[in-house]
Amino acid sequence: MRRLYHAAYPINISAASARVRFSSNGRVRVQAAAHDIGTGTNTVLAQMAANRLGVTLDAVQVKLGDSALPAAPVSGGSNVTASMCSVVMKACDTIRGQLARAATGSKGPLAGQPADKLILKGGALIAPNGASADLISVFKQLGVGMIEEYIEWFPPGQSAQQVADLYNGHLKLVGGAEAEKLMYAFGAEFVEVRIHERTREIRVPRAIGAFAAGYIMNTRTARSQLMGGMIWGISSALHEATELDQRVARYVNDNIAEYLIPVNADIAEIDVILVPEEDDFVNPASVKGLGELGNVGTAAAITHAVYHATGKRVRDLPLRLEKIL
């Protein structure tokens, strides 16, 4: 049985802060108290800084995971990429603005050029007419060897108080249906489900997901997150269950030996399609979280396919054999 199910997940964003240092030798350092749990936060923040400051990726050093660094949101609710890329983008643009004003306000080759039209690339500021000034000379005009900016950013509906709350360990996410406009990422998931006629064993030989999640910072990490979310959805539908002993209020299967999760034999063909999307309203970076977007429609698609194959509507997961016998 093949079935399609739609997916939607709210665009959660949080106030955030970051510190970015740009040196005259073209080296960049990004610091924040966010953490990378394997989703590629280090990579996408380095990409954002490299893109905005016109340097290569290997010129950027990202330091995360230390509470002594500028406050950042927790990795949950698919908010970190959107929140942190927005604040790093703002910090880099502030640095670019300082360099551009210094270069255009002097007697150098860029004097009189529109500061907001300059491009920062390859260690130089370049004007629309092709005139350029190398970074070392621009830094000399400023009388410094590096520029460091600490920036706080908060989305509409929040204030600087939310950044202060972050320093005290309190996180507030906004977005989804609570924002001025609805802010969601969307997807469609197709699953093929096979059910053994006699044993009622359920297998998912194929799953395909197509997702639109704003500007994709890194297609490789995005695809991996969405694929992991779909695997998580299969696991939620057919495997995972927390068994609670009601008499003593203790979890019975609190270890990896008894808490069921998929193994390689349970996961077959999975394909992820990234649908191009532009949405400048959600945040300055136009980024939407996608870690959990891949999960929310998978279990629904599987149970829907089981219903059409057997006539049994199951709303209590996991979908075990006895529920469709």
Concatenate the DSSP letters of all residues of 249-301 into one string: TEES--STTTS----GGG--EEEEEEPP---TTS-TT-B---TTHHHHTHHHH
Mark whether 149 is an active-site residue: no
Angle of CA points 81, 87, 92, to nearest 5°:
115
Q: Which DSSP letter does residue 72 get?
A: -
Of 148, 197, 292, 322, which one is the catalytic site residue? 292
- 283, 73 Cβ separation under 8 angstroms: no
The CB-side HSE value for 91 (13 A sphere, CA atoms) comes to 32
| Lookup result for tokens 């007697």 | 107
Distance from C-alpha of 214 to C-alpha of 282, rounded to nearest angstrom: 9
Residue 147 vs residues 6, 20, 172, 272, 311: alpha-carbon distances, Å = 47, 8, 31, 41, 66
Active site residues: 292
